[in-house]
Amino acid sequence: MRLDVVLRVATKFFLPFILLFAVYVQFHGDYGPGGGFQAGVIAAAAIILYAIIFGLAPTKRLVPPALVEALVPMGVLIFAGVGVAGFFTGANYLDYSNFAADQAHGQEWGIFLVEAGVLVTVSSTMLAIFYAFAGRGRR
Amino acid sequence: MVLLTLMAAITIGIVRLRNLFAVVVLGGIYSFLMASVLIVLDAVDVAMTEASVGAGISTVLMLGTLHLTKSEETVPTHTPILPLFVAVVTGAALIYGTFGLPPFGIADTPMHAGPGGDYLALSIPDTGVANVVTSVLSSYRGFDTLGETTVVFTAGIAVLLLLKRAIRPQSDK
């Protein structure tokens, strides 16, 4: 992997834009296409691209596998926790209407938090599966 | 129509090729064509998912799997008669099923008579979210999406259980 200067420079150039696009897809999901699932996959794809070009060891220093495996259940917990939080505001499970003063704002907050949970679980699951495959090596 | 013809051509290529690397790359191209078809059908959210998951992540995972095995498909040891028969019968049943579908793009089909119109009308006053796909997924049908997230979580944990155990050092026995 010494001669692929073009790939390395191009990857370094593209990575911030891919991550920025993932953030855009996440937070603009209310108005345009996209949401937590797509943003999670795009963010995971950016890190997988880094791993393909620069090798697995630097990527594991950047995004430790232990962190990834901790984030896999964390997203589901965020999602379910937002649902439980609905109880404390006097609504049903996964009803976000009372999160803010009026219903529409509460719903927006709930959707925002829930999409964050989806993002965390999807991106970390994709990365964990990639690490599990790439870390085995040829026998 | 052009897209569907290209997809059929790629499928024939996938069936005929023995080099699995080329098959994986053709599979990625197939996913991109599928995403284009979904954009033509105005299903932008699904197209985005198809492009990122089908063409991106699964191609990478397939290449990772190829790295672990041989990249040449072995010659099959059994005759393809029975699988061919099953595939032809299933395909014929599916094509027969499409005759019962309403014509494409008709407004007064059973699909559009249900609560879909209510979602379109109520999304902005209820949730303030302009993209109805997002409001249905996260708010109206939030419980389904919680289930889907749990499915992703379960799949990830299952893969980790299967693959992580194999690389445990030998002294661990």
The CA-based angle B39-B59-A11, given to 5 degrees, is 90
Q: Label each residue of chain B as H, E or C.
A: CHHHHHHHHHHHHHHHCCEHHHHHHHHHHHHHHHHHHHHHCCCHHHHHHHHHHHHHHHHHHHHHHHHHCCCECCCCCCCCHHHHHHHHHHHHHHHHHHCCCCCCCCCCCHHHHCCHHHHHHHHHHHHCCCCHHHHHHHHHCHHHHHHHHHHHHHHHHHHHHHHHHHCCCHHHC
The predicted pLDDT at position B172 comes to 45
Closest CB to B149: pick one of A29, A118, A138. Answer: A118
Per-residue pLDDT tens digits for B139-151: 788 888 888 889 9
Pick from A28, A77, A78, A136 the residue to mutate for testing the B interface (most B CBs within 10 Å).
Answer: A136
User: What is the distance between the alpha carbons of residues A94 and A110, in angstroms, rounded to a whole number?
Assistant: 8
Per-residue pLDDT tens digits for B88-133: 999 999 999 988 887 777 777 777 777 777 777 777 777 777 777 8
Q: Do B128 and A104 touch (CB under 8 A)?
A: yes
Closest CB to B139: pick one of A29, A79, A107. Answer: A107
Per-residue pLDDT of chain A (139 residues; tens, 9 = 90+): 556 888 888 888 999 999 999 999 888 877 777 788 889 999 998 998 898 888 888 888 888 988 988 898 998 999 888 888 888 887 788 778 777 778 778 888 888 888 888 899 999 998 988 888 887 765 4
- In sequence order, what are the residues at sequence separation of 6 or more whose Cβ sits closer than 8 angstroms to the Cβ of residue B147? none
How many Cβ pairs closer than 8 A exist between chain A and B? Answer: 143
Closest CB to B152: pick one of A33, A48, A125. Answer: A125
User: What is the distance between the alpha carbons of residues B45 and B35, in angstroms, rounded to a whole number?
Assistant: 10
User: What is the distance between the alpha carbons of residues A71 and A46, in angstroms, rounded to a whole number?
Assistant: 17
pLDDT level of residue B56 (50, 70, 90 thresholds): confident
Q: Do A103 and B126 touch (CB under 8 A)?
A: yes
Residue B105 to chain A, least CA–CA distance (Å): 21
Using alpha carbons, list the distances in angstroms from residue A56 to A41, A98, B23, B168.
19, 45, 25, 18
pLDDT level of residue B170 (50, 70, 90 thresholds): low
The CA-based angle A117-A118-A122, given to 5 degrees, is 120
Across chain B, what does the average pLDDT equal? 82
Tokens, residue A135: 């870390």
Per-residue pLDDT tens digits for A37-62: 889 999 998 998 898 888 888 888 88
CB count within 10 Å of CB A5 equals 8
Closest CB to B167: pick one of A38, A45, A135. Answer: A135
The predicted pLDDT at position B96 comes to 93
- In sequence order, what are the residues at sequence separation of 6 or more whose Cβ sits closer than 8 angstroms to the Cβ of residue B106? none
Chain A positions touching B44 (Cβ under 8 A) are 33
Chain B positions touching A35 (Cβ under 8 A) are 45, 133-134, 137-138
User: What is the distance between the alpha carbons of residues A39 and A36, in angstroms, rounded to a whole number?
Assistant: 5
